[in-house]
Structure 1
Amino acid sequence: MRDYEIYINIGVHEFEKKAEQRVLLNVDLYIPLAMNTSTNDQLDEVVDYDFMRETIKARAANKGHIHLQEAFCDDMVTAMLHYPKVLAARISTVKPDVYPECHPVGVEVVRIKTS
Protein backbone atom coordinates (compact mmCIF):
# COMPACT_ATOMS: atom_id res chain seq x y z
CA MET A 1 0.00 0.00 0.00
CA ARG A 2 1.51 3.31 -1.04
CA ASP A 3 0.92 6.82 0.26
CA TYR A 4 -2.12 5.99 2.38
CA GLU A 5 -3.14 9.39 3.74
CA ILE A 6 -4.52 9.92 7.23
CA TYR A 7 -4.84 12.90 9.55
CA ILE A 8 -3.74 12.35 13.14
CA ASN A 9 -2.55 14.23 16.22
CA ILE A 10 1.18 13.62 16.13
CA GLY A 11 4.33 15.48 17.07
CA VAL A 12 6.38 16.71 20.01
CA HIS A 13 6.64 20.37 19.07
CA GLU A 14 4.05 22.86 20.26
CA PHE A 15 3.17 23.86 16.70
CA GLU A 16 2.43 20.17 15.98
CA LYS A 17 0.07 19.83 18.93
CA LYS A 18 -2.38 22.46 17.71
CA ALA A 19 -4.12 20.40 15.02
CA GLU A 20 -4.09 17.09 13.22
CA GLN A 21 -1.32 16.58 10.71
CA ARG A 22 -1.32 14.81 7.41
CA VAL A 23 0.65 11.57 7.53
CA LEU A 24 1.40 9.28 4.60
CA LEU A 25 1.97 5.58 5.23
CA ASN A 26 3.59 2.94 3.09
CA VAL A 27 3.07 -0.69 4.00
CA ASP A 28 4.95 -3.75 2.75
CA LEU A 29 3.86 -7.14 4.01
CA TYR A 30 5.87 -10.30 3.45
CA ILE A 31 3.80 -13.45 3.01
CA PRO A 32 4.99 -16.87 1.84
CA LEU A 33 4.12 -17.36 -1.81
CA ALA A 34 2.16 -20.54 -1.06
CA MET A 35 -0.06 -18.59 1.36
CA ASN A 36 -0.72 -15.71 -1.02
CA THR A 37 -1.24 -17.35 -4.41
CA SER A 38 -4.69 -17.46 -5.89
CA THR A 39 -5.68 -20.70 -7.57
CA ASN A 40 -9.43 -20.11 -7.55
CA ASP A 41 -9.49 -16.32 -7.89
CA GLN A 42 -10.88 -15.97 -4.36
CA LEU A 43 -10.12 -13.24 -1.82
CA ASP A 44 -9.57 -15.68 1.05
CA GLU A 45 -6.54 -17.08 -0.80
CA VAL A 46 -4.59 -13.83 -0.44
CA VAL A 47 -4.13 -10.96 2.00
CA ASP A 48 -7.10 -8.62 1.87
CA TYR A 49 -5.93 -5.01 1.38
CA ASP A 50 -8.90 -3.80 3.41
CA PHE A 51 -7.26 -5.39 6.45
CA MET A 52 -4.35 -2.93 6.14
CA ARG A 53 -6.54 0.14 5.63
CA GLU A 54 -9.03 -0.68 8.36
CA THR A 55 -6.33 -1.62 10.88
CA ILE A 56 -4.43 1.62 10.32
CA LYS A 57 -7.57 3.74 10.40
CA ALA A 58 -8.89 2.13 13.60
CA ARG A 59 -5.61 2.22 15.50
CA ALA A 60 -4.90 5.82 14.49
CA ALA A 61 -8.37 6.90 15.60
CA ASN A 62 -7.96 5.31 19.04
CA LYS A 63 -4.47 6.53 19.91
CA GLY A 64 -5.13 10.09 21.07
CA HIS A 65 -2.08 12.32 20.68
CA ILE A 66 1.04 10.49 19.50
CA HIS A 67 4.38 12.13 20.14
CA LEU A 68 6.69 10.13 17.88
CA GLN A 69 6.40 8.70 14.39
CA GLU A 70 8.64 5.91 15.63
CA ALA A 71 6.05 4.87 18.23
CA PHE A 72 3.27 5.09 15.65
CA CYS A 73 5.24 2.95 13.17
CA ASP A 74 6.04 0.38 15.87
CA ASP A 75 2.36 0.09 16.71
CA MET A 76 1.36 -0.27 13.05
CA VAL A 77 3.99 -2.96 12.39
CA THR A 78 2.84 -4.89 15.46
CA ALA A 79 -0.74 -4.72 14.22
CA MET A 80 0.23 -5.98 10.74
CA LEU A 81 2.12 -8.91 12.24
CA HIS A 82 -1.07 -10.07 13.97
CA TYR A 83 -2.45 -11.10 10.58
CA PRO A 84 -1.78 -14.86 10.41
CA LYS A 85 -0.23 -14.98 6.92
CA VAL A 86 2.19 -12.08 7.49
CA LEU A 87 5.77 -13.14 8.32
CA ALA A 88 7.33 -9.68 8.21
CA ALA A 89 6.24 -6.10 7.74
CA ARG A 90 7.81 -2.81 6.79
CA ILE A 91 5.98 0.44 7.44
CA SER A 92 7.13 3.95 6.76
CA THR A 93 5.45 7.18 7.71
CA VAL A 94 6.15 10.71 6.60
CA LYS A 95 4.77 14.04 7.71
CA PRO A 96 4.86 16.03 4.46
CA ASP A 97 3.78 19.38 5.85
CA VAL A 98 5.99 19.87 8.91
CA TYR A 99 8.84 21.92 7.45
CA PRO A 100 8.37 24.10 4.39
CA GLU A 101 12.06 24.04 3.47
CA CYS A 102 12.43 20.28 3.03
CA HIS A 103 10.77 17.16 1.74
CA PRO A 104 8.75 15.04 4.16
CA VAL A 105 10.26 13.93 7.43
CA GLY A 106 9.68 10.33 8.34
CA VAL A 107 10.69 7.00 9.74
CA GLU A 108 10.63 3.37 8.64
CA VAL A 109 10.29 0.28 10.79
CA VAL A 110 10.87 -3.33 9.71
CA ARG A 111 9.99 -6.28 11.88
CA ILE A 112 10.02 -10.06 11.37
CA LYS A 113 7.55 -12.26 13.21
CA THR A 114 9.36 -14.32 15.82
CA SER A 115 6.76 -17.00 16.40
Structure 2
Amino acid sequence: MTMLAALSHPSLTDCRRMFLRNYEVQINIGVHEFEKKGEQRVLVNIDLFVPLAECTPHADKLDEVVDYDFMRSTVAARMAQGHIHLQETLCDDLARAMLQHPQVRAVRVSTEKPDVYPDCDSVGVEVFHIKPV
Protein backbone atom coordinates (compact mmCIF):
# COMPACT_ATOMS: atom_id res chain seq x y z
CA MET A 1 0.00 0.00 0.00
CA THR A 2 1.42 3.37 -0.96
CA MET A 3 1.59 6.16 1.61
CA LEU A 4 -1.10 8.10 -0.25
CA ALA A 5 -3.40 5.06 -0.27
CA ALA A 6 -2.76 4.52 3.44
CA LEU A 7 -3.82 8.09 4.21
CA SER A 8 -7.17 7.46 2.51
CA HIS A 9 -7.74 4.11 4.24
CA PRO A 10 -11.49 3.41 4.78
CA SER A 11 -11.04 3.09 8.56
CA LEU A 12 -9.92 6.72 8.69
CA THR A 13 -12.87 8.36 6.92
CA ASP A 14 -14.50 9.27 10.24
CA CYS A 15 -11.32 10.88 11.58
CA ARG A 16 -9.95 14.33 12.04
CA ARG A 17 -6.31 14.69 10.98
CA MET A 18 -4.17 16.72 13.36
CA PHE A 19 -0.65 17.60 12.38
CA LEU A 20 2.66 19.00 13.50
CA ARG A 21 4.71 20.33 10.56
CA ASN A 22 8.47 20.73 10.33
CA TYR A 23 9.08 20.67 14.07
CA GLU A 24 12.79 21.47 14.14
CA VAL A 25 14.78 19.75 16.86
CA GLN A 26 18.48 19.33 17.60
CA ILE A 27 19.13 15.68 18.34
CA ASN A 28 21.98 13.22 18.73
CA ILE A 29 21.37 10.94 15.76
CA GLY A 30 23.55 9.01 13.33
CA VAL A 31 25.79 5.98 12.89
CA HIS A 32 29.01 7.73 11.89
CA GLU A 33 31.56 8.69 14.55
CA PHE A 34 31.36 12.40 13.70
CA GLU A 35 27.56 12.23 14.16
CA LYS A 36 27.96 10.81 17.65
CA LYS A 37 29.90 13.88 18.80
CA GLY A 38 27.12 16.45 18.49
CA GLU A 39 23.55 17.21 17.64
CA GLN A 40 22.04 17.44 14.18
CA ARG A 41 19.05 19.36 12.96
CA VAL A 42 16.06 17.09 12.33
CA LEU A 43 12.62 18.04 11.08
CA VAL A 44 9.76 15.99 12.52
CA ASN A 45 6.33 15.78 10.90
CA ILE A 46 3.42 14.02 12.55
CA ASP A 47 -0.16 13.35 11.46
CA LEU A 48 -2.58 11.94 14.02
CA PHE A 49 -5.91 10.48 12.96
CA VAL A 50 -8.49 10.82 15.71
CA PRO A 51 -12.13 9.71 15.38
CA LEU A 52 -14.45 12.71 15.15
CA ALA A 53 -16.66 11.11 17.80
CA GLU A 54 -13.76 11.41 20.25
CA CYS A 55 -12.38 14.82 19.33
CA THR A 56 -15.27 17.05 18.33
CA PRO A 57 -15.56 19.71 21.01
CA HIS A 58 -19.02 20.54 22.30
CA ALA A 59 -18.01 23.04 24.97
CA ASP A 60 -14.94 24.47 23.17
CA LYS A 61 -12.65 23.03 25.87
CA LEU A 62 -9.13 21.68 25.43
CA ASP A 63 -9.87 18.46 27.32
CA GLU A 64 -12.32 17.47 24.56
CA VAL A 65 -9.56 17.07 21.97
CA VAL A 66 -6.04 15.71 21.61
CA ASP A 67 -3.72 18.55 22.62
CA TYR A 68 -0.97 19.52 20.17
CA ASP A 69 1.41 19.57 23.14
CA PHE A 70 1.08 15.76 23.21
CA MET A 71 2.99 15.53 19.92
CA ARG A 72 5.72 17.95 20.98
CA SER A 73 6.19 16.42 24.42
CA THR A 74 6.34 12.91 22.93
CA VAL A 75 9.17 14.01 20.62
CA ALA A 76 10.97 15.68 23.54
CA ALA A 77 10.62 12.56 25.71
CA ARG A 78 12.17 10.37 22.99
CA MET A 79 15.02 12.82 22.44
CA ALA A 80 15.75 12.81 26.18
CA GLN A 81 16.49 9.08 26.01
CA GLY A 82 19.83 9.77 24.33
CA HIS A 83 21.61 8.99 21.08
CA ILE A 84 19.68 7.32 18.26
CA HIS A 85 21.55 5.61 15.44
CA LEU A 86 18.84 5.55 12.76
CA GLN A 87 15.98 7.75 11.61
CA GLU A 88 14.00 4.52 11.18
CA THR A 89 14.32 3.91 14.93
CA LEU A 90 13.24 7.45 15.72
CA CYS A 91 10.19 7.23 13.43
CA ASP A 92 9.15 3.84 14.79
CA ASP A 93 9.56 4.95 18.42
CA LEU A 94 7.55 8.12 17.86
CA ALA A 95 4.78 6.29 15.99
CA ARG A 96 4.49 3.67 18.76
CA ALA A 97 4.32 6.38 21.42
CA MET A 98 1.67 8.35 19.50
CA LEU A 99 -0.49 5.23 19.16
CA GLN A 100 -0.43 4.82 22.95
CA HIS A 101 -2.81 7.79 23.22
CA PRO A 102 -6.29 6.27 23.68
CA GLN A 103 -7.92 8.62 21.15
CA VAL A 104 -5.41 8.16 18.33
CA ARG A 105 -6.46 5.61 15.70
CA ALA A 106 -3.59 6.06 13.24
CA VAL A 107 -0.34 7.96 12.88
CA ARG A 108 2.05 9.08 10.19
CA VAL A 109 5.51 10.17 11.27
CA SER A 110 8.37 11.40 9.14
CA THR A 111 11.82 12.65 10.03
CA GLU A 112 14.23 14.52 7.80
CA LYS A 113 17.88 15.46 8.15
CA PRO A 114 18.20 18.65 6.05
CA ASP A 115 21.94 19.15 6.45
CA VAL A 116 23.34 15.80 5.28
CA TYR A 117 23.94 16.50 1.58
CA PRO A 118 24.51 19.86 -0.08
CA ASP A 119 22.72 18.85 -3.30
CA CYS A 120 19.29 17.98 -1.87
CA ASP A 121 16.80 19.44 0.58
CA SER A 122 16.87 16.51 3.01
CA VAL A 123 17.03 12.77 3.56
CA GLY A 124 14.41 11.05 5.65
CA VAL A 125 12.09 8.28 6.63
CA GLU A 126 8.32 7.99 6.95
CA VAL A 127 6.06 5.41 8.63
CA PHE A 128 2.32 4.99 8.83
CA HIS A 129 0.48 2.79 11.34
CA ILE A 130 -3.17 2.09 12.08
CA LYS A 131 -4.08 0.75 15.51
CA PRO A 132 -5.26 -2.84 15.40
CA VAL A 133 -8.98 -3.03 16.11
TM-score tier (shorter): over 0.9
Larger RCO: 1 or 2 (CA < 8 Å, sep 6+): 1
The structure 2 residue matched to 1:6, chosen from 6, 15, 25, is: 25
Number of the residue aligned with 1:57: 76
CA RMSD of the aligned region, Å? 1.0
Number of the residue aligned with 2:67: 48
Number of the residue aligned with 1:72: 90
2: distance between equivalents of 1:55 and 1:66?
A: 15
Q: How does 1:72-111 map to 2 (within 5 A)?
A: 72-111=90-129
1:58–1:8 distance in 2 versus 1, CA, 3 Å: same
Report the Cα offset of residue 105 of structure 1: 0.3
**Contact 1:28/1:89 (CA < 8 Å) preserved in 2?**
yes
Number of the residue aligned with 1:34: 53
SS at 2:125 equivalent: strand
Q: TM-score, normalised by structure 2?
A: 0.82
2: distance between equivalents of 1:77 and 1:102?
A: 26
**Percent identity, aligned pairs only?**
66
Report the Cα offset of residue 16 of structure 1: 2.0
- Unaligned runs of 5+ residues in structure 1 are none
**Contact 1:56/1:76 (CA < 8 Å) preserved in 2?**
yes
- Unaligned runs of 5+ residues in structure 2 are 1-19
Equivalent residues, number = 114
